[in-house]
Amino acid sequence: MAIVIRHVIVTGRVQGVGYRAWTGDQAIMLGLHGWVRNRRDGSVEAVFAGPAELVAELIEACHRGPPPARVDKVVASDASADMLALRDARETFSQLATL
């Protein structure tokens, strides 16, 4: 099973609607590692690490998000272990402060 690390930016109505918490819950349920945070431009940024199939499943779910969200665009790209290291080392998946 291939392990991947992906960087994701989600735009639309994704702040103030529970999108960040929803993303963290979904990642934890799938057993993924990483982090999520709001960005000052109104988007949400995340890094997901784990089995390729499960990371792809979460990225696909990010196109929908929680019910109050309106997702306009999801851009996913390969990420490095350096990006993953931004999470709190005591946590599997972290919600970081706004960038």
In angstroms, rounded to a whole number, what is the distance separating the alpha carbons of residues 27 and 37? 13
Mean pLDDT value across residues 75-98: 91
Angle at 26 between CA 22 and CA 31, to 5 degrees: 145
Catalytic annotation present for 20:
yes
* Candidate list 6, 37, 38, 87, residue with the active-site label: 38
Nearest partner of 48 among 99, 83, 2, 91, judged by Cα: 83
In angstroms, rounded to a whole number, what is the distance separating the alpha carbons of residues 80 and 6? 8
* Candidate list 20, 39, 64, 87, residue with the active-site label: 20
Q: Could you tell me if 95 and 34 are in contact, meaning their C-beta atoms sit under 8 angstroms apart?
A: no
Catalytic annotation present for 70:
no
Span 3-54, pLDDT tens digits = 999 999 999 999 999 999 999 999 999 999 999 999 999 999 999 999 999 9
Strands 33-38 and 93-95: parallel
